[in-house]
Amino acid sequence: MMNETIREAFNKQINAELYSSYLYLSMSAYFESINLAGFAQWMRCQAQEEILHAMKFYDYVHERGGTVALTAIDGPPTSWDSPLNAFEEAYRHERKVTEMINDLVDLAIVERDHASNNFLQWFVAEQVEEEDSADKVVQSLKLAGHQGGGLFMIDRELGTRVFTLPTADTAE
């Protein structure tokens, strides 16, 4: 059974993961509006991944006998100054999410909730990947500068990303 403190914190994280999805979907719409379909595709996949993260928390709360309490999701920004600016924000956002996950781990330790601590370790590892992924695009955009050819190449590369639902073998 999940204690109330952990349940409330996990419900806040569900909201944060849904906001992340909303943010990346907004970034996808922004990229579509400036004719960068590959960037839009990358962000759309990222939005889908964040929904998956929210659902992992959702399912875990239920599995532990808790009640999920969904709250309003804040509206994300809808435009950015440049593709670089959008990805810098995505990177900052992922760093914030990492802090939130680390805070949940700390809380699980304080509350002596070993099952939740174990559950959260997947997210600890996932956040390393999330930060790295966004930062790599930031670094590529910085290298490309304002040259259209570099932006075009990055757009083509990002457009190859495909979201696939994890199988039972890869879900954990």
Give the Cα separation of 148 and 162 in Å (integer): 24
Q: What is the band of 149 on the pLDDT scale with cuts at 50, 70, 90?
A: confident
Instruction: Please tell me the distance from the alpha carbon of residue 21 to that of residue 163, in angstroms, as a whole number.
Output: 13
pLDDT-derived band at 169 (thresholds 50, 70, 90) equals: low
pLDDT band, very low/low/confident/very high, at 170 (cuts 50, 70, 90):
low
Cα angle for residues 50, 53, 54 (degrees, 5° grid): 90
pTM greater than 0.85: yes
As a whole number of angstroms, the distance between CA 114 and CA 112 comes to 6
- Domain chopping of the chain, boundaries: 4-70+82-158
Q: How far apart are CA 10 and CA 79, in angstroms?
A: 30
pLDDT in tens, 11-56: 999 999 999 999 999 999 999 999 999 999 999 999 999 999 999 9
CA distance 134 to 4: 34
Q: Which of 39-53, 85-99, 128-142, 146-160 has the lowest mean pLDDT?
A: 146-160
85-115 tens-digit pLDDT: 999 999 999 999 999 999 999 999 999 999 9
CATH class of the structural domain 4-70+82-158 = mainly alpha
